[in-house]
Chain A
Amino acid sequence: MRHWVFGAALVAALGVVPLVTSSEFWLTFFLMALLFALLGQSWNVLGGYGGQFSFGHALFFGLGAYATGILQVRHGVPAWPAAIAAIAIAAAVGAALGALVFRYRLRGSYFALVTLAFAEVARILVASFDYTGSGFGILIALAPGAGNFQFADRRVFYWLAWALVCLGCLVALWLERSRFGARLIAIRENEAAAQALGIDPLRTKTLALALSGAIAGVAGVLYMQIFLFADSHIAFGPTMSVEALLAPIIGGLGTAFGPLLGAILLHALGELARHATGGAPGLNLVLYGVLLIVMLRFLPDGITGLARRRARG
């Protein structure tokens, strides 16, 4: 119960950040943390609650970003319908992928590998055709206005991201309380036993992947609208897949607020590394790797797990 209160306090504190500071640096810092918290929550739905470790979540993030961009740039679809369509596409691909790979009973290392392979195929395909911007990426023309889903005031994006993260946390809390979530967790704990109790693993895991894909799609759309640019390497690259899984694992797998906590911590660490070294490339990822290994050794249940252990003890 206490960690629930702590989580709610964290979310509330983040909500007032733009009122406390007008610094562009801090606003961008927390905005990015929120964006990756959303992506982390997407991974958490499938990996944390469902126990299916995806190593290719960039696929859904990239689909969200690219679909919204391409619909606007190539087909003249207005920004908001394009965004909704992009999220639907990410969810549909999640459902199709789930129906395919779970039907063939891929799990564990095999599931990790097949998701990685799909993300890589998407990355190479996207970089190969002019329609998808080939090597240049997708660039949306700058046209600030609420109707264009572009806000000159960064705080609007901030609150939007914050609201979406809240929604993500609510989805996770719903998973902890709903029948669907109970089925998903049962499959994570013991798939054979869950099946014996009458749970349909294929259906449950596929729905979880669709839900997870939709949330990652939202993060992708938001990224695209904030930066108005994405290329195949940013959107579909392995770094994005790694970012997606780090936040929930560091923060606490299968907890509602773990991804948010993890994302803030990781980005604080990354920012510190950048300042300490004067912007040397890759050093933040070195720290992430070390943190991941050390966390698995000392806090295998993430930071939230520590809080829970304290609360119990």
Chain B
Amino acid sequence: MSLLLPSIINGLTTGAIYALVALGLTLIYGVLHIINFAHGSLLMLALYAAFFAKTLLGLDPYAALPVLLLGFFALGYALQRWVIDWASHGRDQNILLVTLGLALVIDNLALFFWTSTTRTIDVPYAFEVVDLGVALVPLPRAIAFVGALVLAALLWALVGWTDLGKAIRAVAREKEGARLVGIRVEHIYAMSFGIGTACVAAAACLLLPTFYVTPQVGYAFVLVAFTTVVLGGMGSFLGALVGGLLLGVVEALCGLFLGESLGQIGIFALFILVLLLRPTGLFGARLA
């Protein structure tokens, strides 16, 4: 019992990051109806960006967050507009393959330039803790948890309450209809991809103070993000949030009872079960 509660709280803080990564993925899925296989690679890239911002420019990851948010939004916009859309001829299966190709290119370029060395940063607050009464939570993890929730709320407000959000929902529901009423569908696709990519930049900045970066790190996250998105229901924001938190807890508990290497099995088992039994997820609603 004494281990259980801290384990759950630890899982929740990890889960908040999963949720943030999954929010970006679910937005892209909701609008483009396609799984973005490059999502994890973009997260890895963002982690490196935050790492180099700290080591080369001395910029704290939290301070770098707004810059990376904008930078990765631009990167995502450009990738969708000038690479994915350009190469896929708008065919669903091709989009899937183009994002896979992007993942190959990004992952292996990172391996080539930065080698497979595990890198971490030193921050002065790394070992400060927040006392919750039942458990001690490292400060960076508490910040990540709150930050992820705030960003999720902002994203939800953006899609729910702005003109851009309305256009995104219109394209998600019926792209030809959206085109007919004068929405530039290609632009909205790229905006969605850009916002989804900005989510990984935010996740990276919140993650780096307590985590590490290697060229392979994205792969582990992308599988968890897929699971989260499927679990929550593809295209559902609330689902991604709840799914992410749930998965963080499942992983922490499986790790506690089964050991590190088998801990991941819990995630995949859940993933396969949800895919088979309830592919619409827990909150299986369209983005609209």
Interface residues of B in 1-44 (CB under 8 A from A): 29, 34-35
Query: Does B112 lie within 8 Å of A292, measured CB to CB?
Result: no
B residues within 8 A CB of A281? 108, 111-112, 116
The yes or no answer to B170 lying at the interface (CB within 8 A) is: no
A residues within 8 A CB of B96? 53, 109, 112
B residues within 8 A CB of A294? 87
Interchain nearest-CB distance for B181 vs A (Å): 28
How many B residues face the partner with a CB closer than 8 A? 45
B residues within 8 A CB of A249? 97
The yes or no answer to B153 lying at the interface (CB within 8 A) is: no
Query: Does A293 lie within 8 Å of B262, measured CB to CB?
Result: no
Query: Does B276 lie within 8 Å of A117, measured CB to CB?
Result: no
The yes or no answer to B103 lying at the interface (CB within 8 A) is: yes
The 10 closest A-B pairs by CB, nearest first: A289-B104, A282-B108, A289-B105, A292-B101, A282-B111, A297-B87, A285-B108, A293-B101, A289-B101, A109-B35
Query: Does B101 lie within 8 Å of A113, measured CB to CB?
Result: no
| Cross-chain contact of B86 among A112, A114, A120, A297 (Cβ < 8 A) | A297
Query: Does B265 lie within 8 Å of A125, measured CB to CB?
Result: yes
Interchain nearest-CB distance for B87 vs A (Å): 4
A residues within 8 A CB of B101? 288-290, 292-293, 296
Interchain nearest-CB distance for A125 vs B (Å): 7
Q: Which of B83, B100, B111 has the most CB of A within 10 A?
A: B100
| Cross-chain contact of B275 among A114, A125, A297 (Cβ < 8 A) | A114
Can you list 28 A-B contacts (CB < 8 A)? A55-B100, A101-B275, A104-B275, A104-B277, A108-B92, A109-B34, A110-B275, A113-B275, A114-B272, A116-B223, A116-B226, A117-B268, A117-B272, A120-B223, A121-B268, A124-B264, A124-B268, A128-B262, A281-B116, A282-B109, A283-B112, A289-B101, A289-B103, A289-B105, A290-B105, A294-B87, A296-B88, A296-B98
Interface residues of B in 79-106 (CB under 8 A from A): 83, 86-89, 91-94, 96-98, 100-105
Query: Does B268 lie within 8 Å of A128, measured CB to CB?
Result: no
The yes or no answer to A238 lying at the interface (CB within 8 A) is: yes
B residues within 8 A CB of A113? 35, 226, 230, 271, 275
Closest to A293 in B: B101
Known contacts: A282-B112, A289-B108. The answer to whether A296 contacts B264 by CB under 8 A is no
Interface residues of A in 152-195 (CB under 8 A from B): none
Q: Which of B35, B83, B102, B219 has the most CB of A within 10 A?
A: B35
Interface residues of B in 49-89 (CB under 8 A from A): 83, 86-89
Give the docked Cα–Cα distance between A158 and B279 (Å). 44
The yes or no answer to A139 lying at the interface (CB within 8 A) is: no
Give the docked Cα–Cα distance between A285 and B110 (Å). 12
Give the docked Cα–Cα distance between A280 and B86 (Å). 30
Give the docked Cα–Cα distance between A249 and B104 (Å). 15
How many A residues face the partner with a CB closer than 8 A? 40
A residues within 8 A CB of B29? 109
The yes or no answer to A226 lying at the interface (CB within 8 A) is: no
Known contacts: A124-B262, A292-B104, A296-B87. The answer to whether A118 contacts B272 by CB under 8 A is yes
Known contacts: A281-B112, A289-B102. The answer to whether A53 contacts B93 by CB under 8 A is yes
Query: Does A238 lie within 8 Å of B219, measured CB to CB?
Result: yes
The yes or no answer to B162 lying at the interface (CB within 8 A) is: no
Give the docked Cα–Cα distance between A238 and B107 (Å). 13
Interface residues of B in 243-272 (CB under 8 A from A): 261-262, 264-265, 268-269, 271-272
Give the docked Cα–Cα distance between A114 and B226 (Å). 10
Query: Does B272 lie within 8 Å of A121, measured CB to CB?
Result: yes
Query: Does A283 lie within 8 Å of B93, measured CB to CB?
Result: no
Query: Does A106 lie within 8 Å of B93, measured CB to CB?
Result: no
Other A-B contacts than A110-B279, A290-B101, 18 sampled, CB-CB below 8 A, are A109-B96, A112-B35, A113-B230, A116-B223, A117-B223, A121-B272, A128-B261, A238-B219, A281-B112, A281-B116, A283-B108, A289-B102, A290-B105, A292-B100, A292-B101, A293-B101, A296-B94, A296-B98
Give the docked Cα–Cα distance between A106 and B35 (Å). 14
A residues within 8 A CB of B265? 121, 124-125
B residues within 8 A CB of A238? 219
Interchain nearest-CB distance for A78 vs B (Å): 33
The yes or no answer to A146 lying at the interface (CB within 8 A) is: no
The yes or no answer to A10 lying at the interface (CB within 8 A) is: no
Give the docked Cα–Cα distance between A100 and B261 (Å). 26
Query: Does A120 lie within 8 Å of B87, measured CB to CB?
Result: no
Interface residues of B in 90-149 (CB under 8 A from A): 91-94, 96-98, 100-105, 107-109, 111-112, 116
Query: Does A280 lie within 8 Å of B92, measured CB to CB?
Result: no
Interchain nearest-CB distance for B148 vs A (Å): 23
Q: Which of A100, A106, A117, A242 has the most CB of B within 10 A?
A: A117
Give the docked Cα–Cα distance between A292 and B264 (Å). 30
Q: Which of B98, B104, B108, B226 has the most CB of A within 10 A?
A: B104
A residues within 8 A CB of B107? 282, 285
Interface residues of A in 85-135 (CB under 8 A from B): 100-101, 104, 106, 108-110, 112-114, 116-118, 120-121, 124-125, 127-128
Give the docked Cα–Cα distance between A280 and B112 (Å). 7
Interchain nearest-CB distance for B214 vs A (Å): 12
A residues within 8 A CB of B108? 281-283, 285-286, 289
Give the docked Cα–Cα distance between A280 and B110 (Å). 12
Closest to B34 in A: A109
The yes or no answer to A305 lying at the interface (CB within 8 A) is: no
A residues within 8 A CB of B83? 293
